[in-house]
Amino acid sequence: MDAIALTALIFAITAMLVHLLTVAISIARTSRANASHQPGKFDDEAVTILRPVCGLDAFDAETLRSTFNLDHPRYEILFCCARDQDPAVALVRSLIAEHPHIPARLLIGDDRSTPNPKLNNLIKGWNAAVTPWVIMADSNVLMPQTYIGEMFSNFRPGIGLVCSPPVGSHPQGFWAELECAFLNTYQARWQLSADAIGFGFAQGKSMLWRKSDLDAAGGIGALALEVAEDAAATKIVRQRGLRVRLVDRPFAQPLGQKTASQVWQRQVRWARLRRSTFIPYYMLEVLTGSVAPTAAAAYAAAATGISPLLAVAAMLSLWYSAEAALAKAGGWHMGRVSTFAWLARDLALPVLWLQGFLGNRFTWRGNDMTVSAVPSRS
């Protein structure tokens, strides 16, 4: 075996071992979270949940209603909307009326004091919150009854922020299955694994703050110092000598129908944001799917007289069997086409990685943005 083939073999084995390790870490974490939730020292803490709304998505009635069914004894909900004419306003008002026993308000106003439209929507809620703890939760997060307790479960001395990445649920059609393939056994797996070894990154879907910590760093406006508020949150927490932690069981985001364009544009947006804010980590992403190690294994096999097709089959079988085990352990979606979606995802990853370098523009909920500057909402 020549040096190139040996290098290819070592890379293929190493990549597979890393893949299996990240799967094992994620299975251990989700299995721990699936145990019955026990009362904790934070159960009596007062919490404000901020939920920004903008337009209506297919599952908004379900996800927003879930905010009213939490088992935490002391929490209030502040819904934030930029305009009274927004179609989400009627839904929010009806949900508040349906649950008079839960303290909840709808705050309307477009502050435009930062270049980030989501933060502009949240500022009024942050300023209105009087509790020591604040959770920012996107409107498409489906909250289990134990949501607040699970957010608190990893908050301990030395921790400045607890977050949750999304996991896709309720996919309808192949493109939504592809979205699940990106979100669940790929992105959530890597995020949980990085967090387990002390490199947790903030995730904007759900963020639990001790209010005084963010206020001491300049308040919610400080999250506009980066184009993505989760990137800014990570840097703020680390600059204060604290760490970001993730929950052990990421919360669901119902997907419904998706088009190929919607899935691709979202992944390109995230890729460009990661490239802009954490370039050293982004450079390695091209190696994280199954394509590069499988190609390396096929090359090494051919160099030693073994059928490359046999090497490809063995690599992909083990790779995706591990992902299937993770999906089952986490209770995450897995359907008849999931394996094909995982393969399609991995084939797309190198192209997506290149797309991260080929532009700075993206669109978020009708707002044209760039990774270098986020224009004010118009």
pLDDT at 373 over 70: no
Helix (H, G, I), strand (E, B) or coil at 3: helix
Q: What percent of the chain has pLDDT over 70?
A: 93
How far apart CA 328 and CA 177 sit, in angstroms, is 16
Q: Which residues are CB-neighbours of 154 under 8 A, at least 6 positions away?
A: 162, 245, 246, 247, 248
Please say whether the beta carbons of 65 and 227 come within 8 A. no
According to the model, what pLDDT value does residue 31 have? Answer: 86
CA-to-CA dists, residue 293 to 5, 12, 299, 319, 356, angstroms = 12, 4, 10, 10, 21
Listed by start position, the domains of the chain span 3-27+278-361, 36-259
pLDDT grade for 344, boundaries at 50, 70 and 90: very high
- CB atoms < 10 A from the CB of 86, how many? 17
Whole-prediction pTM: 0.89
Say which CATH topology domain 36-259 has: Spore Coat Polysaccharide Biosynthesis Protein SpsA; Chain A (3.90.550)
Q: Which of 287, 310, 289 is nearest to 298 (CA)?
A: 310
What band does 378 get if pLDDT is binned at 50, 70 and 90? very low
Over residues 8-16, the mean pLDDT reads 97
Beta bridge partners of 106: 79
Average of per-residue pLDDT values in the chain: 91
Checking if the pLDDT of 364 tops 80, the result is: no
